[in-house]
Chains A and B, each alone.
Chain A
Amino acid sequence: MSGGVDSSVAAALLADEGHEVVGLSMQLYDQQEGEARFGGCCSLDDLHDARRVAAAIGIPHYIVNFEQPFETHVIDNFVREYAAGRTPIPCAHCNSDVKFATLAERSVGLGAERVATGHYARLERDETSGRVRLRRGLDRSRDQSYFLFSLDQAQLAAAAFPIGHLEKTAVRAYARERGLPVADKPDSQEICFVPDQDYAGFLARRAPGIEQPGAIVDERGETIGRHGGVHRFTVGQRKGLGISTGAPLYVLELRPAEQQVVVGPKAALERTELTASAVNWIEPEPTARRRVEAQIRHRHTPAPATVSVLGSGHAQVVFDEPQLAITPGQAVVFYEGDVVVGGGWID
């Protein structure tokens, strides 16, 4: 329970269906260190909101300290990825490596059968095969299945997404009807542990060595500007380059070893192929290749592609049409309609 409306309604729905529900909120950083305060989904105020919601629903509520696993599996990874010139998705790691790992394990210890969250995604259990199918949330504009691709079958079997079949408006309406004190609380959009969404500042505090100035080069390797560190950039970025030329320039590639940011015209961002690592198959793994619709970032319209299994968790994805800004560190998630087939991390 993050203190937001989605997980609050998820808890209320389960309680109203007659399940025995225990509310858990994760403390992910030291609340006492006021100056380094994180914003977003896990601030102290949000934990209080979660507690008030649990009281309104009439379920027990506990704040569990997850600073250490969060630091190890989410924040360290986040910093490492940026330092390597990649653009990470901490929420996906939080899901597969914290919420549906450490938290789920603790919950089993408390006698829980499932860990429910307020994700917009749906689960279907196939009684004959024993597999669990992951589908997009019914509210396509809120769908969060992209961030859940790395859950394995055991994790999915222990999960529940009670609001996955609801529209956001229905979630808010339920919260109002149920008298939950967070019914009209604004959505959190940002990454919870980065204050004011100042990524560069956060990274510089966490990894002081990361601030290595370098050259902005064009596709031919000619220096056309300077920058304050590759961690400040992401592939596909246009603003903030500090270069005025006739045609708009985009970040094409980050080369952290040389501290270079490669820029070029929009057309140069187009790629038809990518490889992915740590590929997780939620549907049965194909023997060689499979046609899918592949989504390369949260707000990307999935595009038809062919996935080839390369072994050792690697896969190659070839799109039918070129895609803009395939970004290392982001996830490529394979869909078939609204079913999540699998996914991996873009190399």
Chain B
Amino acid sequence: MRIYLDHNATTPVLPEAADALAQATRDVFGNASSVHAFGQQAKTALDDARTRVAALIGSEVPELVFTSGGTEADNFAIRGAADALEPTGRRHLIASGIEHEAVLNTLKALARRGWRTTVLPVDESGIVSPDALDAALTDETAVVSIMHANNEIGTIQPIAALASLAHARGALFHTDAVQSVGKIPVDVRALGVDLLSLSAHKFYGPKGTGALWIKRGTRLVAHSTGGKHERNRRAGTENVPALVAMGVAAEYARLRMKDEAARVGRLRDHLESGVLAKVAGTAVNGAPDRRVPNTSNISFDRIEAESLLIALDLDGVAVSTGSACSSGTLEPSHVLRAMGLPTHRAQNSIRFSLGHDNTEAEIDHVLAILPGIVEKLRSLTTRTVRA
């Protein structure tokens, strides 16, 4: 039995979405830019997909630009807005210290090109304080980028309050909503943001698809140039079958969210309270009452998270120590460190992220094996190394 508790890394593709992808791959091969019937069929499929994704986040249909995923959407938002605002003299960017690398490394890249950047601190539960943002904002701030829900701890930021502060100083506000879209209700108008990134494979759609929501009237400089795809904002022939599948996944997310969020939340709470009760020296990281319902980040005293992850995997349970990076290496989490956790605690934290496919029986199984694994790892005292 293999149990998947790493849905913040990626989710299994919804069978209906996989079927739609396979069917569209076979039957909808036309280029959505073509004039003929084949092209029109593809264009219609694309429009339907866009309508479904738009409905998930309260967007108008033309405000959505399809991308290859969350990272591209983040890059497009920040670089596109930065390039558009540079002539106005705004050369300052702000992000929080717990952003995904897609945002943090984009800021670093722009810093190398002469942009001033500010990385905001978070409190011990991972929340960005509006006061800190207010203090960092200047009349030169071009873009503020603060994620909606954090990938490692699930903490939900007070986006509406933060966005209104940015707007008061004339800055654009971007939020990386990759970890919230599909898990909790996301309404772009209620959030009051200008730019919002989302990714299909976090809500049971295929990888390689995502979108940037661009509030009507917001000017961005396109970073891929070519044909007039996506209203001149993202050149390149659209991956219609995958986007169709994304649309199917978005519709399922919208229709099932209320029930699923409650069900997954109960499972997560069952797991979390079970771990805290059965394993001594454990603590939950993040803001227990302000987080997405599927995520639990737990520190295990006197444990290398790396070893616990491997031991659990060898016993068929897939978890994570933080964000999965491309090299697959295991490093102390920059998110937990930004929250002020000491390095050892940032190195002994495990992220459990649940999803549609998890059952109570699975959680019970994890709770049955976890205490023994932790006990075994803890029984090994560090070997004294001779000088």
Residues of A that sit less than 8 Å from B by CB: 22, 27, 31, 44, 47, 51, 60, 62-65, 73, 96-97, 101-102, 104-106, 108-111, 150, 278
Contacts and interface: CB of A to CB of B under 8 A. Distances in A.
B380 A109 contact: yes
Given A105-B380, A109-B377, A109-B380, A65 B331 contact: yes
8 tightest A-B CB contacts, nearest first: A109-B377, A97-B385, A63-B329, A62-B310, A101-B383, A109-B307, A27-B329, A65-B330
B112 to A, nearest CB: 13
A73 B385 contact: yes
B88 interface: no
Contacts of A278: 386-387
Interface of B: 304, 306-307, 310-311, 313-314, 327-331, 376-377, 380, 382-383, 385-387
Contacts of A104: 383
**Which applies to chain B's interface (DSSP): helix, strand, loop or mixed?**
loop
Contact of A102 (B313, B328, B377, B383): B383
A64 B314 contact: no
Contacts of A108: 380
Given A22-B314, A106-B307, A109-B311, A96 B328 contact: no
Contacts of B330: 62-65
B345 to A, nearest CB: 15
B3 to A, nearest CB: 16
Contacts of A44: 327
Given A60-B314, A111-B314, 18 more contacts: A47-B329, A51-B328, A62-B313, A63-B327, A65-B331, A97-B385, A101-B385, A102-B382, A102-B383, A106-B306, A108-B380, A109-B311, A109-B380, A110-B310, A110-B311, A110-B314, A111-B311, A111-B376
Residue among A97, A106, A110 with the most chain B CB within 10 A? A110
A64 B385 contact: no
19 contacts: A27-B329, A62-B313, A62-B330, A65-B306, A65-B329, A73-B385, A96-B385, A97-B386, A102-B383, A104-B383, A105-B380, A106-B306, A106-B307, A109-B377, A110-B307, A110-B311, A110-B314, A150-B386, A278-B386
A186 B55 CA distance: 56
Given A47-B327, A63-B328, A65-B331, A109 B376 contact: yes
A150 B385 CA distance: 11
A249 to B, nearest CB: 35
B385 to A, nearest CB: 5
A5 to B, nearest CB: 22
Residue among B327, B330, B376 with the most chain A CB within 10 A? B327
Contacts of B382: 102, 105
Nearest to A67: B331
Contacts of A47: 327, 329
A107 B386 CA distance: 20
A47 B327 CA distance: 9
A45 to B, nearest CB: 11
B23 to A, nearest CB: 31
B204 to A, nearest CB: 26
Contacts of A102: 382-383, 385
